[in-house]
């Protein structure tokens, strides 16, 4: 929720801008809720509240199973293993909107006109667009094989607690090497095989984790959209005249995000991701770390006499676990 502070107006500033402060603040608050609902990245990243300069994300392996001990028997020891700590440092973000004296003069008290000309929607839409672009930039960089995402001359890691990129051919599943990046182009068979690989992943102790992918994330590519919805959109076997049941029907949500369009090649496979949204939420997979939600302060610029609305926020993001996602159509990936 946006936090708006309005400086107490006096003199000419109060005369010019006093009447628009509360209505404009209410409009911004209302717009914030709409913009949040439209932020697709927040459907892919789980929000975590931060109270410090940076946060550490650890975790434990799954507990061992109970053992039969007979009547009056002593319980066997059960242990957990501590994972490496993943640190995500918060970043500060700022922007500014100005309502000029000329806008007020020419609006003749028409609030709708003032809001339109001042670009009041840009504060909250810009806030969530910044979040969306940042988080999807992280995801896109990882999908493109990079261990960091760079924006504004600053680097943000795409690595997990095991110090490997979230999409890697050398993660661990139990004692074995585990790959969650494959080169295979999307198809019904590839979807089935890839989801099976993900479902079989284990933790460091070799325990089954019950990963169950339920979301497909793709760029806005016509051929890929067509292939995805043909594969999952019918309860009958797609591309066949028989009445065979399509076991992939009914279990998937699809998120189409144009921010991943830069990964679409001139020819060849287009990248896509399978996500277990529940595992992602439980186990700190994709993390949106929120330190300070959007704060907006209204005041007068003493030199220009404009009404300035300054926006401030602190947040960051990253990846802690890797088992919640697996990718296909990735250059340099393994083959199923």
pLDDT (tens digit, 9 = 90+) per residue, 162-220?
Answer: 999 999 999 998 889 999 999 999 999 999 999 999 999 998 888 889 999 999 999 99
Residue 328: predicted pLDDT: 98
**What's this model's pTM, rounded to 2 decimal places?**
0.82
Please report which confidence band the pLDDT of residue 239 belongs to, taking 50, 70 and 90 as the band edges. Answer: low
Tell me which architecture the domain covering 3-58+87-328 has in CATH: Alpha-Beta Complex (3.90)
Q: Would strands 307-319 and 325-328 be described as parallel, antiparallel, or unpaired?
A: unpaired
* Closest CA relative to residue 35, chosen from 130, 99, 114, 103: 130
- CA–CA separation, 21 vs 17, rounded Å? 7
Q: How far apart are CA 74 and CA 6, in angstroms?
A: 65
The pLDDT of residue 95 is 86
Dihedral pair phi/psi, residue 151, rounded to 5°:
-145, 135
Extended beta strands in 158-275, E state: 171-173, 176-178, 215-218, 253-256, 272-275
Task: Output the pLDDT for position 90.
Answer: 97
250 phi-psi bin (left φ>0, alpha ψ -120 to 50, beta other): left
End-to-end alpha carbon distance in the chain:
44
CA 138 to centroid of chain Cα atoms: 9
Q: What is the mean pLDDT of residues 319-324?
A: 97
For 99, residues 6+ apart whose C-beta sits below 8 A from its C-beta are 17, 20, 114, 118, 306, 307, 309
Residue 120: what pLDDT?
55
């Amino acid at each position: 929720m946006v936090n708006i502070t309005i400086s107490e107006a006096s003199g000419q500033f109060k005369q010019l801008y006093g009447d628009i402060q509360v209505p404009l603040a209410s409009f911004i608050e209302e717009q914030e809720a709409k913009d949040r609902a439209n932020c697709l990245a927040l459907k892919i990243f789980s929000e975590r509240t931060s109270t410090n300069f940076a946060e550490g994300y650890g975790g434990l392996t799954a507990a061992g199973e109970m053992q039969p001990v007979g009547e009056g028997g002593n319980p066997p020891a059960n242990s957990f293993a501590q994972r490496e700590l993943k640190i995500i440092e918060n970043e500060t973000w700022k922007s500014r909107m100005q309502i000029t004296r000329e806008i007020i003069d020419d609006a003749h008290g028409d609030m709708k006109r003032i809001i339109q000309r001042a670009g009041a929607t840009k504060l909250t839409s810009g806030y969530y667009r910044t979040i969306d672009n940042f988080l999807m930039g992280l995801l896109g960089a990882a999908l493109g094989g990079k261990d960091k995402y760079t924006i504004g001359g600053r680097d943000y890691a795409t690595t997990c607690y095991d110090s490997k990129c979230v999409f890697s051919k050398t993660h661990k599943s139990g004692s074995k090497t585990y790959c969650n990046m494959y080169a295979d182009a999307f198809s019904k068979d590839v979807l089935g095989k890839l989801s099976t690989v993900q479902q079989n992943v284990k933790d460091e102790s070799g325990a089954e984790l019950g990963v169950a992918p339920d979301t497909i994330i793709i760029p806005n590519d016509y051929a890929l959209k067509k292939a995805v919805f043909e594969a999952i959109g019918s309860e009958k076997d797609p591309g066949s005249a028989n009445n065979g049941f399509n076991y992939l029907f009914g279990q998937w949500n699809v998120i189409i995000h144009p921010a991943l369009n830069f990964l679409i090649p001139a020819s060849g496979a287009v990248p896509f991701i399978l996500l277990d949204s529940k595992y992602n939420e439980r186990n700190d997979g994709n993390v949106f770390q929120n330190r300070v939600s959007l704060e907006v302060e209204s005041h007068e610029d003493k030199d220009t006499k404009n009404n300035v609305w300054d926006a401030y926020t602190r947040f960051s993001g990253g990846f802690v676990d890797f088992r919640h996602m697996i990718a296909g159509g990735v250059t340099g990936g393994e083959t199923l």
